[in-house]
Amino acid sequence: MRRRFVFHVTSTMAISVALQFVGLARHILIAAFFGVSRDMDGYLVLYALVTLVVFNLSNVFDTVAVSRLVQIRNGSIEAFWKSSTRLLIQSLFAGLCLAVVFLVALRLAMPVVAAGFSNAERAHLLSLANYFLPWILIVIPYYALASHLKALWQFHWVFGSELITVTVSIAVLWLFHDSIADLPVAYFAGYLVAGTVLLVRRGLHRAKAGAQPGSIVGNMASQHLASQIGTINGLADRYYQSFLMAGGISSLGYAGQIVNNLSSLLTFREIYIVPLSSEVGRSEKVERVLKGVVLISIPVAAFIFSFAETIAVVLFQRGNFNADAVSLTSNALGILALSLVSSSVLAPLQRIFQITNRVFFTHAFYASSLLGILVLQYLFVFALKWDVRGFAIATVINSVFVTIVVAFLVRQCGVVVAWQRVFVYVAYATAFAVCASFVAQLGSSSYAGLAKLLVAAPLFGSIVVAGYLVIHRRIRAIIGIT
């Protein structure tokens, strides 16, 4: 099992790296076509609300559906197929219901998420929302198909389908980008093609009449209901964002997209959920994952923090994305990059709540996050009036606070992590990341733009790699190579 997990981690990382490059190309296109604008602000407001209502179901599918399908499959392959088929059918109806819920939720949430918008801008949001409906209808069945293949350890097909999603959306966006409404349509096209590929790969299987499907949807509904408490957190975030300067939401969106994509990559796309579904050696597995993510996330965060402005110039400064947009986005990117470390640690810890079915702890997680948002965003956005920079700083501090709370709660789930050993790796990675940043900044000081990054990255990487070679035996033990 260990070698199998290592194989999937390494192969998934390779696919994910390719996915990040393709996704980055789409990100660059979006920035060039739509820039930092009020239209883009409005799109991101809607995207955030759709995420709260619909897209966050991807986490529920990953943590509940995948783990339950694995357990059912271990008992009976016929029950597995029957459960998976029922889940797929139910997901089709769920997509329709959630599309209606989204339209209703938007009208109810408008005074909060668009508090700082004008009446004309709010009317535009209501019109733009209709273009999200096809995307919502297709994405839930897509999650169900992906869960089936993940439960069979066929991660390559799932992550390969994400490449298809991004590639198709880029092609559609390249052809049609006259209006911000073309953006959700492009995403829908990508998921439609990728979902078709997954359905063909999954195939159809008629289970025997005697096979009894396992209970999945009930557990998912319970977990999703608990997750909806987090909707309040999202609404609070959007409330403060609506008072930022025009283009502020866009700049945070571009920076946040980069950070979120990297966070997903640095946590191995969360394929550890499958082995963590087993109680055997769970504490040891969690500790190894934590050591691995801090060794990777700290240098990445340090490099982005040190070269945020150059990265923003190279990636985005073209088309409608001007120098002012670069300045605004680079400030947000440099600060938000620091949250990569806490978010990478938080991801596996938070999943323990779903795997062990401790719904109450999920409530505590969201409650602590909401408290942090209300206090910190008020302080930095309203009291100190630091605008975009203040919002980003508050986000990072809150991420650290929530991670500490979750680390305490995980112990109550029976998962005991020797944190002193994890912090040794944190200190080691930080020391070499700081040294690498200093050397890279010094060595690339006479360059600008892409040339600066091409000089800085090898210098930075060589210092980090040299430091990690010293502890290569420990790293091999972390990834399970003896």
Residue-wise pLDDT for 8-58, tens only, equals: 555 566 676 777 788 889 999 999 999 988 899 999 999 989 988 888 888
Mean of the per-residue pLDDT values of the chain? 87
Closest CA to 314 of 217, 448, 219: 448
- What lies within 8 Å, CB to CB, of 127 at 6+ separation is none
Contact 415, 435 (CB under 8 A): no
Is the pLDDT at 394 greater than 60? The verdict is: yes
Give the pLDDT score at 210. Answer: 47
Measured distance CA(392)–CA(331) in Å, rounded: 9
Contact 163, 22 (CB under 8 A): yes
Contact 339, 396 (CB under 8 A): yes
Is the pLDDT at 208 greater than 80? The verdict is: no
Give the pLDDT score at 1. Answer: 47
Contact 86, 113 (CB under 8 A): no
Contact 291, 424 (CB under 8 A): no
Lowest mean pLDDT of 81-95, 379-393, 467-481, name the range: 467-481
Helix 323-336 vs helix 282-306: crossing angle, to nearest 10: 150
Residue-wise pLDDT for 139-165, tens only, equals: 999 999 999 998 888 888 888 899 999
Measured distance CA(234)–CA(150) in Å, rounded: 28
Lowest mean pLDDT of 71-85, 175-189, 200-214, 384-398, name the range: 200-214
Contact 148, 69 (CB under 8 A): yes
Measured distance CA(314)–CA(296) in Å, rounded: 23
Give the pLDDT score at 300. Answer: 96
Closest CA to 290 of 420, 409, 399, 396: 420
Residue-wise pLDDT for 333-385, tens only, equals: 999 999 999 999 998 888 888 777 777 788 888 899 999 999 999 999 999 99
Closest CA to 362 of 233, 236, 178: 233
Give the pLDDT score at 468. Answer: 96
| Model confidence, pTM | 0.79
Residue-wise pLDDT for 81-135, tens only, equals: 888 888 899 999 999 999 999 999 999 999 998 998 989 999 999 999 999 999 9
Q: Looking at residues 192-212, what average pLDDT do you find? A: 79
Q: Looking at residues 274-293, what average pLDDT do you find? A: 78
CA angle 256, 96, 125 (to 5 degrees): 45
Is the pLDDT at 482 greater than 50? The verdict is: no
Measured distance CA(79)–CA(85) in Å, rounded: 10
pLDDT band for 224, please (50, 70, 90 cuts): low
Higher pLDDT, 76 or 219: 76
- What lies within 8 Å, CB to CB, of 29 at 6+ separation is 170, 173, 174, 177
Give the pLDDT score at 140. Answer: 94
